[in-house]
Structure 1
Amino acid sequence: MMVPGQPASAIAITELPLLSDPPVDLIVVGGGASGFFGAITAAEEGLAFVHVLEATSEPLTKVKISGGGRCNVTHACWEPGDLVTNYPRGGRPLLGLFSRFATGDAVAWFADRGLELVAEPDGRMFPVANCSSAVVACLKQAAVVAGVSLRSQKVVQSLERRGAAGFLVQCRDGSSFQAQRVLLATGGHPSGRRLAAAMGHQLVPSVPSLFSLALEAPALIACSGLALDGVHLSLKAGGQNFQQTGRVLITHWGLSGPAILRLTAFAARALQGDHYRGKLFVNWLGMSSHNLVKQSLRDLRHHQGRRTLGSARPVSNLPRRLWLSLLVQVGATADLRWADCPARLERLLFEALVASCYSIGGKGPFGEEFVTAGGVQLGEVNLATMESRVCPGLYFAGELLDVDGLTGGFNFQHCWTSGWLAGQAIAKGLQLATGSDQTR
């Protein structure tokens, strides 16, 4: 029991016995965001025995380290129709899920349990304390209050369907548990995919999402550290064209930043199919009129002819380092006077400003991707309840499903939503099966 006034960080979640006989109501495999949310919801809806099996020594690790230790809980995108546009895979099917539990519901859920969230100008929402430990403490305390039990360092080795008796859950250390229902919420870890496949599910192969791009562009890489807003990107890969506009960061290997991460998320499978090769076209001036850019170049030739290409650039807010790299890119010298700039070179400079073409040499070198595309096919899941259509009594939540979102809190929002829906459905289903509400 929770002691009044006891800090959440000091709360110990009840340990699960080594053998559950008779079967417990629900075993959740995975102590991450979606697993905790599903377990808490099921317990709050009346299930007496809800247990979480976590493979590591500490649950909610990804929550703790996310957002640089701040935890981007969700995004201030309030309409389900707008929210689904931020999911490269699973967007349309998610509309029904978000119509039942979306951003506003998540914000209210945390507020009801003492955690206030605040939106930053870009829409990302963080705890007021600006620390992920506040989110972890909130979830742990909610689990204790609801009566959820946790067993850490329990690596689930296999699941076995036992008909009306439910499931037998066997762990690597030899312990076994019986459960009427099982919720798989193992995130992107291969173990969850293996368990789902063993229960008859076809899985979409896993590929990285949300990564930077390595470019074969020495002149551009010399501008490492520059960040530009409003850059328009067009990527050709896998016979498709993908576009994004936004903030871009030039790195010592290529390009990163929010617009690049969004671009690679939507193009993840096309890029993987092309072995992370392709062509990237960059309009450094974004939405600027092409006619205005051409006029600026002409004005430099006709009205500032004495100045050199290196000292006078056509767009004042274009960083000088980037402009000098574009000169190198087209083979121009910085000391050439504008009056001596031939029309051919003027055309090349125009193309470099609005349609620079770079060859993609692969992903960024540091394994930056922290979201994967792929998982359990959505067509094999009843998305109204998150129950398997292949194996009744088995449920899914979180990143194990073939759903992935952009950066900015969207992946956590899917975890909250799918966990909540699964917990609700499991509780109601078991209560109907027994003919009455279960009590602790």
Structure 2
Amino acid sequence: MKIFVIGGGAAGFFAAISAAQHHPESRVTLLEKSTKLLAKVKVSGGGRCNVTHACFDRKALLKNYPRGQKVLRQVLAQWMPQNTVEWFENKGVPLKTETDGRMFPTSDDSQSIIDCLMLAAQKLKVEIHTQTEVTELKANNDGTFLLHIKNKAIEKADRVIVTTGGSPKLTGLNWLASLNLDLVPPVPSLFTFNLPKEDITQLPGIAVPKVQVKIPGTKLQEEGSLLVTHWGISAFAVLRLSAWGARVLHDLQYQCPVIVNWLPEINEEALRNQIVAYQQTYKARQVQNKNPFGLPHRLWEFLLNRWQVPAQKKWSELSKKERNRLVNGLSNDTYQTHGKTTFKEEFVTCGGVSLDEIEAKTMGCKKHPGLYFAGEVLDIDGLTGGFNFQAAWATGFVAGKLG
């Protein structure tokens, strides 16, 4: 049996390895259109590779996927993060868990993951071809497939696994046109917010451990860390919001207000009462010099100026209007977004091949038996933190079974 895997990323390698393990009598060939294999693995996590996440409960794990939960429920039943950990450790690449649950190779070097995958594929005699672009995939009436390869001969396949990754535009999936599949227009996920007209960008590097961010007029609201950058705001709260709101934000053309609640664990009434109490407790202290909320000092000074609360005033001298501005600012600090920026080297899309086309238990295509899909070419995406790679390993493993 001739099995072709199209795409040389994380899902592609795992699919090829799985196919070779489950079908040792078959010839498994992996095709990559570029010159580089596992390119995203190489750069992810700042070159360390965030392999998976230490979330070993399937129900909890699924909550980290804005799209694809229904399919992943059955896929993850077959390949969870503990399987990923065991697989790499059994091949001499132990993983470590960081405080936020992200898991990396103990080497802190993505090359150890690449080398491991390459060696595993080599041992299983997977044929690997780079600079080999499939320009069209056709299904034959006899259940086989034809792969039209750019500047090369047409290849005939008994089974095909498509793992070409996320495409920024729907046209990137035109090579699948003859299969008549339902495709979901891709839009970006996991991005940071650009605030080009906001002065807060003058405070790059300022970080707050926990804020709430929300988009007014929508249900989008997330909590987590926030980082001020040269171009806007980033970190976990923003990335979660961008992932869950990928389509809404796309429809808004990334032009919308974003509200930051700097103290999400205190409601406005309690905050107002706290400030009244602080006016007595710190009555002789200047507001700029006594920040009772634990915000970074430079940020506190910036916010006081932004909200027109006189920094040199003593706490006891704050007027009712100034107190109200302080309460409203801490709870509903509104900025205007104008665009987005890809988060570090991560490029994640929502969209791709519709999950309605897929049989979840096998990752097989309902319309074309013998055709399988895995990874981000599907309308599946996860939050930052190793969840996208976990989906790649899991869908790749299941697709490779050719069930």
TM-score (norm 1): 0.86
Q: Confirm or deny that 1:322 pairs with 2:299.
A: yes
Q: 2:36 aligns with which of 52, 58, 62?
A: 58
Select between 160-169 and 247-256 the one with higher mean Cα deviation. Answer: 160-169
1:146 Cα deviation after fit:
1.3
1:176 Cα deviation after fit:
2.0
Q: 2:188 aligns with which of 192, 208, 221?
A: 208
Secondary structure, aligned partner of 1:169: strand
**Separation of aligned partners in 2, 1:76 and 1:156:** 36
5 Å matches for 1:43-122?
A: 43-46=20-23, 47-122=25-100
Conserved 8 A contact 2:9-2:37: yes
**Separation of aligned partners in 1, 2:336 and 2:51:** 36
Q: Confirm or deny that 1:32 pairs with 2:9.
A: yes
Match of 1:389 in 2: 366
Would the alpha carbon gap of residues 185 and 292 (structure 1) be closer, same or farther in structure 2, given more than 3 Å must change? same
For each residue in 1:302-340, what CA deviation from the matched residue of structure 2 results, as whole angstroms up to 9, or x when unmatched? 45444333223342x111211122222222332233333
Match of 1:7 in 2: none
Match of 1:335 in 2: 312
Structure 2 spans left out of the alignment, 5+ residues: none
Conserved 8 A contact 2:44-2:346: no
Structure 1 spans left out of the alignment, 5+ residues: 1-23, 429-440
Q: Confirm or deny that 1:399 pairs with 2:376.
A: yes
Secondary structure, aligned partner of 2:191: coil
TM-score (norm 2): 0.94
1:273 Cα deviation after fit:
0.5
Match of 1:13 in 2: none
Conserved 8 A contact 1:219-1:328: no
Secondary structure, aligned partner of 2:131: coil
1:290 Cα deviation after fit:
4.1
Match of 1:222 in 2: 202
Conserved 8 A contact 1:90-1:404: yes
What is the identity, as a one-letter code, of the residue corresponding to 2:93? L
Match of 1:377 in 2: 354
Match of 2:265 in 1: 287
1:293 Cα deviation after fit:
2.8
Secondary structure, aligned partner of 1:402: coil
Conserved 8 A contact 2:373-2:399: yes
Q: 2:331 aligns with which of 329, 332, 354?
A: 354
Would the alpha carbon gap of residues 192 and 183 (structure 1) be closer, same or farther in structure 2, given more than 3 Å must change? farther
Select between 306-315 and 52-61 the one with higher mean Cα deviation. Answer: 306-315
**Separation of aligned partners in 2, 1:147 and 1:216:** 52
**Separation of aligned partners in 1, 2:81 and 2:243:** 21
Conserved 8 A contact 1:208-1:369: no
Aligned sequence identity (%): 39
**Separation of aligned partners in 2, 1:367 and 1:229:** 19
For each residue in 1:65-85, what CA deviation from the matched residue of structure 2 results, as whole angstroms up to 9, or x when unmatched? 211111111000101111111
**Separation of aligned partners in 2, 1:369 and 1:59:** 16
**Separation of aligned partners in 2, 1:347 and 1:219:** 22
Secondary structure, aligned partner of 1:163: coil
**Separation of aligned partners in 1, 2:172 and 2:27:** 22
Conserved 8 A contact 1:212-1:368: no
Would the alpha carbon gap of residues 369 and 107 (structure 1) be closer, same or farther in structure 2, given more than 3 Å must change? closer
What is the identity, as a one-letter code, of the residue corresponding to 1:336? K
**Separation of aligned partners in 2, 1:159 and 1:263:** 36
Q: How many residues align?
A: 400
For each residue in 1:44-98, what CA deviation from the matched residue of structure 2 results, as whole angstroms up to 9, or x when unmatched? 1124201011111231111112111111110001011111110111123311111
For each residue in 1:228-247, what CA deviation from the matched residue of structure 2 results, as whole angstroms up to 9, or x when unmatched? 101122223xx522121111
Conserved 8 A contact 1:381-1:387: yes
Cα RMSD (Å): 2.0
1:195 Cα deviation after fit:
2.6
What is the identity, as a one-letter code, of the residue corresponding to 1:274? L
**Separation of aligned partners in 1, 2:57 and 2:240:** 20
Q: Confirm or deny that 1:309 pairs with 2:287.
A: yes
What is the identity, as a one-letter code, of the residue corresponding to 1:254? G
**Separation of aligned partners in 2, 1:73 and 1:350:** 42
1:212 Cα deviation after fit:
0.6
The structure that has the greater radius of gyration is 1
Select between 183-192 and 338-347 the one with higher mean Cα deviation. Answer: 183-192
Select between 382-391 and 188-197 the one with higher mean Cα deviation. Answer: 188-197
Match of 2:176 in 1: 196
Conserved 8 A contact 1:155-1:172: yes
Select between 300-309 and 193-202 the one with higher mean Cα deviation. Answer: 300-309
**Separation of aligned partners in 1, 2:42 and 2:233:** 27
Conserved 8 A contact 1:217-1:254: no
Secondary structure, aligned partner of 1:178: strand
**Separation of aligned partners in 1, 2:197 and 2:333:** 10
Conserved 8 A contact 1:209-1:369: no
**Separation of aligned partners in 2, 1:32 and 1:89:** 20
1:202 Cα deviation after fit:
1.6
Q: Confirm or deny that 1:250 pairs with 2:228.
A: yes
**Separation of aligned partners in 2, 1:367 and 1:62:** 12
Q: 1:146 aligns with which of 95, 118, 124?
A: 124
**Separation of aligned partners in 1, 2:365 and 2:234:** 38
Would the alpha carbon gap of residues 294 and 215 (structure 1) be closer, same or farther in structure 2, given more than 3 Å must change? same
Would the alpha carbon gap of residues 327 and 219 (structure 1) be closer, same or farther in structure 2, given more than 3 Å must change? farther
Conserved 8 A contact 2:3-2:26: no
**Separation of aligned partners in 1, 2:343 and 2:113:** 28
Would the alpha carbon gap of residues 349 and 155 (structure 1) be closer, same or farther in structure 2, given more than 3 Å must change? same
